Amino acid sequence: MKEVWIVAAGAVTAAGGDLETTWRTLLAGKTAIRRVDRFPTQGYRSEWGALVPDLIPQGRRSLVQTLMDRVLDQVAVAVPEETLLITATTKAGIDNLERRRKGEEADPEDILPAHLGRRAAERLGLLREPFNLSAACASSTVAVAQGASLIGAGWAEAVLILGLDVVTEFVFSGFSALQILSPFPCRPFDRDRAGLTVGEGGAYLFLMEGRKAAKGGFAPLAKVIGCGVSNDAHHITAPDREGRGLIRAVEGALQSAGVKKEEVAGISAHGTGTIHNDAMELTAFRQVFGEKGPPLYSAKGCIGHTFGAAGGIEIALATKILASGLLPPTQGFLNPEKGAEGKVSAQAREIPGPYVLVTNSGFGGINAAVLLQRV
């Protein structure tokens, strides 16, 4: 298999308009979760969210198009025209569907996920037909696994991953109806957690085949050395309580990388703050890594749950973890859930070793894991 390098990464979140600002906010133990003022929240289960400041639609264009432009503005490397673009989103321009239903000005094409890729490819001058990958809240992570697999198998030399999702009243009301919104800012892996907090954001990850990247003068931020994707087929929204799907995904990532479980230095977990997701993850990690296991954290206490963009943002942040040797704190973590003692912390920690695991899970039983190596 060919080496897969991440040669560039960027992000826009509620915690910062770029990856560096988001990283500093996260590392400082601060949170970007605020009361939502984009739409009325009366009558919903929560009033909290992590929304990108000053994100407003431009004319007939959707919020996600405006967000995409902010993310693409950060692409500071020359992207070859033969690069394959994979977008990852769960809702795309859903706000334009809302506006259209209200009789307001909206671009109907902007509602479709495929439209994101076409617009981005046109802006970047890419020749290959892009495609969108929608795998619930593991979308971006699965997209990275897909892109790395295509490069590893020799079917592509460069892949650009673009993960994007925004918060609208439709999205907010849906999660409220499922009764999984926390009435207070989310507390991942805390025994007093009561649900997730919605967030929005976007990220790009530029993957290249190692030799082509070196020849082109690119330096790697990290290497993608293992991936695993599974589905537990348990429930339309709830995870398998025993974590069997996540276990398969993590073991698949370790096996494809040829890395022993003892060598993993830290885990960027999904960590939504819902009762069942956090318990499932702790169960799965204990099954794979044993009672001790590596330390882990969740970014969602800082930036909220960014849905299909979550994995892209968290993998971009993982390149910072590897470069600094620091695992960020988990915001909102006060009272450890059983199994989180000694593994999750409200303080940043130094981690040894060159390997960091990123995991995400989603509705429908989807699970994905990506193993990164420091360079």
Residue 278: which CATH number? 3.40.47.10
Torsion from C-alpha of 347, 352, 356, 362, nearest 10 degrees: -40
Q: Are residues 231 and 99 in the same domain?
A: no
Whether 142 maps to a domain, the answer reads yes
Separation CA 162–CA 74 (nearest Å): 12
Q: Is the dihedral of CA 136, 56, 198, 101 positive or negative?
A: negative
Cβ neighbours of residue 282 closer than 8 Å, sequence gap 6 or more: 189, 337, 338, 339, 340, 343
Whether 86 maps to a domain, the answer reads yes
* 3 state SS of 135: strand
Tell me the pLDDT of the chain (375 aa) as tens digits. Answer: 689 999 999 999 999 999 999 999 999 999 999 999 999 999 999 999 999 999 987 777 889 999 999 999 999 888 999 999 999 999 888 888 888 888 787 777 777 888 899 999 999 999 999 999 999 999 999 999 999 999 999 999 999 999 999 999 999 999 999 999 999 999 999 999 999 999 999 999 999 999 999 999 999 999 999 999 999 887 776 778 888 999 999 999 999 999 999 999 999 999 999 999 999 999 999 999 999 999 999 999 999 999 999 999 999 999 999 999 999 999 999 999 999 999 999 999 999 899 999 999 998 889 999 999 999
Separation CA 175–CA 49 (nearest Å): 12
Q: Is the dihedral of CA 15, 24, 359, 2 positive or negative?
A: positive
Return the ∠ at Cα 142 (arms to 54 and 30), rounded to 5°: 40
Separation CA 101–CA 301 (nearest Å): 33
Domain of 158 in residue numbering reads as 4-215
Q: pLDDT, tens digit, for every residue of 20-52?
A: 999 999 999 999 999 999 999 999 999 999 999
Q: Are residues 196 and 307 in the same domain?
A: no
Residues annotated as catalytic are 137, 270, 305
Backbone angles phi, psi at 57, to 5 degrees: -70, 150
Separation CA 307–CA 58 (nearest Å): 23
Q: Are residues 40 and 151 in the same domain?
A: yes
* 3 state SS of 202: strand
Q: pLDDT, tens digit, for every residue of 128-163?
A: 999 999 999 999 999 999 999 999 999 999 999 999
* 3 state SS of 38: coil
Q: Are residues 193 and 243 in the same domain?
A: no
Q: Are residues 203 and 244 in the same domain?
A: no
Q: Are residues 206 and 229 in the same domain?
A: no
Number of independent structural domains in the chain: 2
Cβ neighbours of residue 218 closer than 8 Å, sequence gap 6 or more: 5, 7, 8, 77, 208
201 in Cβ contact with 12 (< 8 Å): yes
Q: Are residues 211 and 104 in the same domain?
A: yes
126 in Cβ contact with 79 (< 8 Å): yes
Q: Are residues 236 and 161 in the same domain?
A: no
Last residue of one domain, picked from the residues 193, 215, 237: 215
Q: Rounded to the nearest 10 degrees, what angle do helices 63-72 and 113-124 cross at? A: 30
Alpha helix ranges (H) inside the chain:
19-27, 63-72, 94-101, 113-124, 139-152, 169-177, 210-215, 244-257, 275-289, 300-303, 310-324
Predicted pLDDT at 1: 64
Separation CA 141–CA 193 (nearest Å): 25
Last residue of one domain, picked from the residues 215, 247, 269: 215
Return the ∠ at Cα 184 (arms to 183 and 188), rounded to 5°: 110
Q: Are residues 294 and 366 in the same domain?
A: yes
Q: Are residues 187 and 336 in the same domain?
A: no
**Residue 105 C-beta-side C-alpha neighbours within 13 Å:** 5
Q: Are residues 127 and 165 in the same domain?
A: yes
Q: pLDDT, tens digit, for every residue of 46-83?
A: 999 999 999 987 777 889 999 999 999 999 888 999 99
Last residue of one domain, picked from the residues 166, 185, 215: 215
Separation CA 292–CA 285 (nearest Å): 10
262: how many CB neighbours lie within 10 A of its CB?
11
Whether 74 maps to a domain, the answer reads yes
7: how many CB neighbours lie within 10 A of its CB?
22
Q: What token pair was written down for 322?
A: 């590897």
Predicted pLDDT at 158: 97
Whether 220 maps to a domain, the answer reads no
